[in-house]
A and B are shown apart, each in its own frame.
Chain A
C-alpha cells in the first residue's frame, strides 16, 4: 500500500469520473426504450447495495487493502489466489474499457488509424499517470471533474438554446410495465457502470478521514446516477427512442444537433474530450488497482515497477480479446455480465462479508471471554 492519503472531495471526484467514464457515451438501458432513465436509477440503487457490502467489509478492516483482508478472512493461500483472481478481473476490465474506447475513437474520428496505435498512445498516458501514484491521480481527477462539468453545463445550455428538446419523447412512461425495466437493470446497469465500483475497495483505504467514506461514496454514486440519467433523458428527448437505439454513440448525435447562431455547431470536440478523459480515468483506476494489488500480493516494492508490465498486458489483451468490434460488444452484453460481473461484483463480496462477519464474531467472543 502506498503511503498516500486522499481527501473526501478527491474520492468523490474519482467515483464520479469513474462512473461517467464510458457509461456517458453509450445508450445505457435502452432496452427499456423511453424508460431507460428508470433503469439507470434502479441500477444506481443496485450499485448502492453492492457498495454497502463492500463498505461493511471495509469497516471490518479499515486499514488494509482487500488483497490483505482476503488473506485474513480466507487464510493465506486461498486469500492470495482469490486476490489474484480479482487482479485478473481488473486487468480484464481495463482492457475491455480500453478496447471500447479505442474502437469508439476510431469509428467516429480516425477511421484509418490502426486500433493498436490509438490504444498504445492512451495506455502510455495512463501508465505514466498511474506510476505517479494515487495522490496525483486524485488531484488530476479534481481538476478534470470541474472541467467536465463545465463542458456539460455549457453543453446543456447550448442544447436548450438550440430548441431541440422534446420531452414528449419520454412518454408514455412504463408503456410495457415494469418487466423490461427490471430485466434491463439486472442484465446491464447494475453491473455496468455501477457494479464496477468494486474497484474502489482498493481506493477507499487511502481516504484520510475514514468516517467520510460512506457519505462521500453514496453522494458520488447518487450524483453520477443522476448525471447519467439526465444525459439519457436528453438523448431520448432530443433524438427519440428509435434514433437513440440505432445510433452508435447517442451522446455524439445529441451534441451534433447543437446549432446556435449558425456558428456554434458540430461541437464533436465536446464528445471527444468526454470520451478521452472518461476513458482515461476508468482505465487508470482499474490499472492502479491491479498494480497496487499485485504488488501487495507478491510484495513487490516499489509498486510502480509493475505499471509498465501491467500496462503492456492490458494493451495486448485489449487487442486480442475480440477479433472485431461486434464480437467485442457481444461478449460484453451476453457473456461478461454473468460469467464475470455477477460472481466478482455480487456473489464473492456477499460470501466474503458473511465469512468476515462470522470470523469477527468469533474473535470478539474470544476477546471478551
Chain B
C-alpha cells in the first residue's frame, strides 16, 4: 500500500545502539610490555604484515619499548626517521625516568599523536595505519599518525569530463579528496565530521558542509540516518546511498555522485552536503533535485545561451532514450493514420519482408544493443574493437539484409542508444534505459493510450519522490519562480542572486546587489563624448 502521509522516520532502533555500546566496553592495556605484544599477536593471528620492533629505549635505563605498525599502510620512512631514530638515540637526563608526556612533548617530532589506554581504540588506529609505541611499565600506548603507502595520484576524472574546468578528479583516499575540496573553498566554515561505518570494514566516512549555508535540519537528518546504519562492510559510496535514500524503491536516484572536486564545491556553495567515503572517488551529494541530473559543470562557464540550449538538448535526449522506440511501436501498431502518408508507405515497404510485429522487432534490437553495451563495458581494451565490428554487423546492415529487422528500426535503435549516452548523468541514463522497456510494453499493448498513462504514472512518481525532504521535482513542482534561473534553462550568473530556496535556509543571498549585471560605460551602444557634445 503506497503511503498517504509522509511517514515520520520510524522509531530509532534502540537495540543496535545498545549493542554498539557493548562492543566498545573498555578493556585496558596491560602495563607489561610482553603481555601487550602477546595480546596483539593473538588478536591478529600472527599476521605477517604486522611489524613489531622491540628495542631498548634508553641505553642507560634499560627501558624496554616496542613499536608496532602495519607494513604497507604506513610510511616506512616516517616511521624510521621520526619514530625509531629519535627514540633510540634519545638521551634523557640521568635520573629522570622517562614519561609518556615527555616522549610526546620532547622527543617525537611528529604532528598527530595521542595516548591510547584501551584495546578498542588501539586496534582501529593500528588498522588504519597508525604506529603504536609501547613502553614497558606503562599501561598507555602512543599512537602516531603515520599513514602512508601506495595511493593513486590525482588524475583527470574518468566519468565526468568537462571541456572547460578543472582537470582534477577525486582519488580513493579520503584525505586527498577532502583536501581537494578544501583547496577550492578556503573558508573556516567548511565543516567536516568523520565517523566510521561498517562493523567489519570500519570505513571512514566524512560529512562535509558549509556551516551557515547548509540547512541544519538536513545535516541532522543525515547524521541520524548514517548513525542508524549497522552493516558489516562499506565498499563504495553506493552502499551508503542505498541506506540513506528517502525512497529506496524507485528507478530514480535521489542522491547525486560526483568525481569532480569543483562540482562538489559548487554544490556545497548551494547548501548541499557532501559525503566522502574512504576507498572510492565518488562523493555523494544531497539533497538533489531532478533537474540537477541534466546539468554539467561547464554549463556555468560557457555563455548562458549556449548552456541553455545544451540543457534543452539533454532533456530532449532523455525523452528520446525513454520513449523513442515506444513511439515507433505505438505509431506503427496502433496509430498508422498519424504518420504522414509518404513516410508510412516507406515504412510499410521496408517492413514487408520482416516477419515480426514491430514490438518484437524493437525488443530484439534493444536487447541486442544492451548485450553489446554490457559486453563492451568490461572488455579489455584490446578486444573492444572486435566488439564494435561485430556490433556494427549485428545491429546494422547485416540484420537488415537478413530480413530480421527493418532499416527504420535500426535508425530508431541507434538514435536511442546515442541519446542514452548523451545524458550527462549515468545514474539517470540507466533509469531511462530500464523504463524504456516498460514504455515499449505499454506502447505495444495500448498504443499512445498506454504510453500517456505510463507517462502520468512516471510524473506522479517523480513528484512523490523526495531527497532529504526536498521535493524531487522542485523548483518546477512545487513551482518556485525565483529558482528557475538554474533549471532546464540557465540564466546568466549575475542574475543568479540567490541560492536555491528549496535547499539553503535563510542565508541564501549569493552575491551582493551591486554585483548585478556588468555594464561598463564604454560598452553600451552609441557612446558619445559628453564633453564634446557640450562644446
Indicate whether A and B interact: yes
Interface residues of A (CB under 8 A from B): 2-4, 7, 9-10, 105, 109-110, 113, 118, 121-122, 125, 128-129, 131-133, 136-140, 142-144, 262-263, 265-269, 272-273, 276-277, 280, 302-305
The listed residue with most B CB atoms (<10 A of its CB), out of A3, A7, A128, A139, is A139
Q: Is B449's CB under 8 angstroms from A109's CB?
A: yes
Q: Which residues of A contact B477 (CB under 8 A)?
A: 10, 139-140, 142-143
Does B456 belong to the interface (CB within 8 Å)?
A: yes
Does B43 belong to the interface (CB within 8 Å)?
A: no
Does B335 belong to the interface (CB within 8 Å)?
A: yes
* Shortest CB distance B99–A (Å): 62
In the bound complex, what is the Cα–Cα distance between A305 and B3 (angstroms)? Answer: 9
Our pick among A2, A105, A132, A143 for the contact of B449 (Cβ within 8 Å) is A105
Q: Known contacts being A118-B449, A143-B473, A265-B340, is A129 close to B478, with CB within 8 Å?
A: no
The 7 closest A-B pairs by CB, nearest first: A304-B4, A139-B477, A139-B463, A142-B477, A136-B464, A129-B460, A131-B2
Does B476 belong to the interface (CB within 8 Å)?
A: yes
Q: Which residues of B contact A133 (CB under 8 A)?
A: 4-5
Our pick among B340, B449, B453, B478 for the contact of A139 (Cβ within 8 Å) is B478
Q: Is A10's CB under 8 angstroms from B478's CB?
A: yes
The listed residue with most A CB atoms (<10 A of its CB), out of B340, B449, B476, is B449
Q: Is B478's CB under 8 angstroms from A272's CB?
A: no
Q: Known contacts being A125-B456, A280-B456, is A142 close to B449, with CB within 8 Å?
A: no
Q: Is B471's CB under 8 angstroms from A139's CB?
A: yes
Does B1 belong to the interface (CB within 8 Å)?
A: yes
Q: Is A268's CB under 8 angstroms from B337's CB?
A: yes
Q: Which residues of B contact A10 (CB under 8 A)?
A: 477-479
Q: Is B453's CB under 8 angstroms from A121's CB?
A: yes
Does B446 belong to the interface (CB within 8 Å)?
A: yes
Q: Is B463's CB under 8 angstroms from A303's CB?
A: no
* Shortest CB distance B341–A (Å): 9
In the bound complex, what is the Cα–Cα distance between A168 and B335 (angstroms)? Answer: 34
Q: Is B457's CB under 8 angstroms from A128's CB?
A: yes
In the bound complex, what is the Cα–Cα distance between A125 and B463 (angstroms)? Answer: 14
Q: Is B338's CB under 8 angstroms from A136's CB?
A: no
Our pick among A3, A140, A142 for the contact of B5 (Cβ within 8 Å) is A3
Interface residues of B (CB under 8 A from A): 1-6, 334-335, 337-338, 340, 446-450, 452-453, 456-457, 459-460, 463-464, 471, 473, 476-479
* Shortest CB distance B227–A (Å): 26
Q: Which residues of B contact A121 (CB under 8 A)?
A: 446, 449-450, 453
Q: Is B446's CB under 8 angstroms from A304's CB?
A: no
The listed residue with most A CB atoms (<10 A of its CB), out of B4, B450, B453, B471, is B4
Q: Is A276's CB under 8 angstroms from B456's CB?
A: yes
A-B contact pairs, 12 of them (CB 8 A): A4-B5, A109-B447, A110-B334, A131-B1, A131-B3, A132-B463, A136-B464, A139-B463, A142-B476, A142-B479, A144-B459, A276-B449
Q: Is B456's CB under 8 angstroms from A272's CB?
A: no
In the bound complex, what is the Cα–Cα distance between A132 and B338 (angstroms)? Answer: 35
Q: Known contacts being A10-B478, A136-B463, is A2 close to B338, with CB within 8 Å?
A: no
Q: Is A9's CB under 8 angstroms from B5's CB?
A: no
The listed residue with most B CB atoms (<10 A of its CB), out of A110, A125, A136, is A136
Q: Is B460's CB under 8 angstroms from A302's CB?
A: no
Q: Which residues of B contact A267 (CB under 8 A)?
A: 338
Q: Which residues of B contact A262 (CB under 8 A)?
A: 340
Q: Is A132's CB under 8 angstroms from B460's CB?
A: yes
Q: Known contacts being A136-B463, A263-B340, is A272 close to B449, with CB within 8 Å?
A: yes
Q: Which residues of A contact B453 (CB under 8 A)?
A: 121-122, 125, 276
Our pick among A2, A143, A272 for the contact of B4 (Cβ within 8 Å) is A2
Q: Which residues of A contact B456 (CB under 8 A)?
A: 125, 129, 140, 276-277, 280
Our pick among A109, A118, A263 for the contact of B334 (Cβ within 8 Å) is A109
Q: Known contacts being A122-B453, A304-B2, is A7 close to B479, with CB within 8 Å?
A: yes
In the bound complex, what is the Cα–Cα distance between A102 and B259 (angstroms)? Answer: 50
Q: Is B479's CB under 8 angstroms from A9's CB?
A: yes
Q: Which residues of A contact B460 (CB under 8 A)?
A: 125, 128-129, 132, 136-137, 140
Q: Which residue of A lies closest to B471 (CB)?
A: A139
* Shortest CB distance B143–A (Å): 50
In the bound complex, what is the Cα–Cα distance between A4 and B334 (angstroms)? Answer: 41
In the bound complex, what is the Cα–Cα distance between A304 and B4 (angstroms)? Answer: 5
Q: Known contacts being A7-B479, A268-B338, is A273 close to B473, with CB within 8 Å?
A: no
In the bound complex, what is the Cα–Cα distance between A280 and B460 (angstroms)? Answer: 12
Q: Which residues of B contact A265 (CB under 8 A)?
A: 340
Q: Which residues of A contact B476 (CB under 8 A)?
A: 142-143
Q: Is A143's CB under 8 angstroms from B459's CB?
A: yes
Q: Is A266's CB under 8 angstroms from B457's CB?
A: no
Q: Taking A125-B453, A269-B448 as given, write out 20 further A-B residue pairs in contact, using a Cβ cutoff of 8 Å, ordered by the A residue number.
A: A9-B479, A10-B479, A113-B446, A125-B457, A125-B460, A128-B2, A128-B457, A131-B4, A132-B2, A132-B3, A139-B471, A139-B477, A142-B477, A143-B463, A262-B340, A266-B340, A269-B338, A272-B449, A303-B4, A304-B4
Q: Which residue of A lies closest to B474 (CB)?
A: A139
Q: Which residues of A contact B335 (CB under 8 A)?
A: 109, 268-269
In the bound complex, what is the Cα–Cα distance between A125 and B479 (angstroms)? Answer: 24
Q: Is A272's CB under 8 angstroms from B450's CB?
A: no
* Shortest CB distance A192–B (Å): 24
Q: Known contacts being A109-B335, A109-B449, A142-B476, is A2 close to B5, with CB within 8 Å?
A: yes
Q: Which residue of B lies closest to A7 (CB)?
A: B478
* Shortest CB distance A300–B (Å): 11
In the bound complex, what is the Cα–Cα distance between A357 and B479 (angstroms)? Answer: 37
Q: Which residues of A contact B334 (CB under 8 A)?
A: 109-110
* Shortest CB distance B323–A (Å): 12
Q: Known contacts being A129-B460, A142-B479, is A272 close to B448, with CB within 8 Å?
A: yes
Q: Is B338's CB under 8 angstroms from A266's CB?
A: yes
In the bound complex, what is the Cα–Cα distance between A136 and B477 (angstroms)? Answer: 9
* Shortest CB distance B445–A (Å): 9
Q: Is B337's CB under 8 angstroms from A266's CB?
A: yes
Q: Which residue of B lies closest to A130 (CB)?
A: B4
* Shortest CB distance A254–B (Å): 16
* Shortest CB distance B214–A (Å): 24
* Shortest CB distance B438–A (Å): 13
Q: Which residues of A contact B463 (CB under 8 A)?
A: 132, 136, 139-140, 143
Q: Is B4's CB under 8 angstroms from A110's CB?
A: no
In the bound complex, what is the Cα–Cα distance between A105 and B446 (angstroms)? Answer: 11
Our pick among A113, A129, A272 for the contact of B452 (Cβ within 8 Å) is A272
* Shortest CB distance A104–B (Å): 11
Q: Which residue of B lies closest to A273 (CB)?
A: B452
* Shortest CB distance B424–A (Å): 21
Q: Is B459's CB under 8 angstroms from A304's CB?
A: no
Q: Which residues of B contact A7 (CB under 8 A)?
A: 478-479
In the bound complex, what is the Cα–Cα distance between A136 and B247 (angstroms)? Answer: 14
Q: Which residue of A lies closest to B454 (CB)?
A: A125
In the bound complex, what is the Cα–Cα distance between A136 and B6 (angstroms)? Answer: 11
* Shortest CB distance B291–A (Å): 12
* Shortest CB distance A123–B (Å): 11
Q: Which residue of B lies closest to A132 (CB)?
A: B464
Q: Which residue of B lies closest to A12 (CB)?
A: B479
In the bound complex, what is the Cα–Cα distance between A137 and B456 (angstroms)? Answer: 11
* Shortest CB distance A124–B (Å): 8
Q: Which residues of B contact A105 (CB under 8 A)?
A: 449
* Shortest CB distance B88–A (Å): 69
Q: Which residues of A contact B5 (CB under 8 A)?
A: 2-4, 133, 302
Q: Which residues of A contact B471 (CB under 8 A)?
A: 139
* Shortest CB distance B461–A (Å): 8
Q: Which residues of B contact A303 (CB under 8 A)?
A: 4
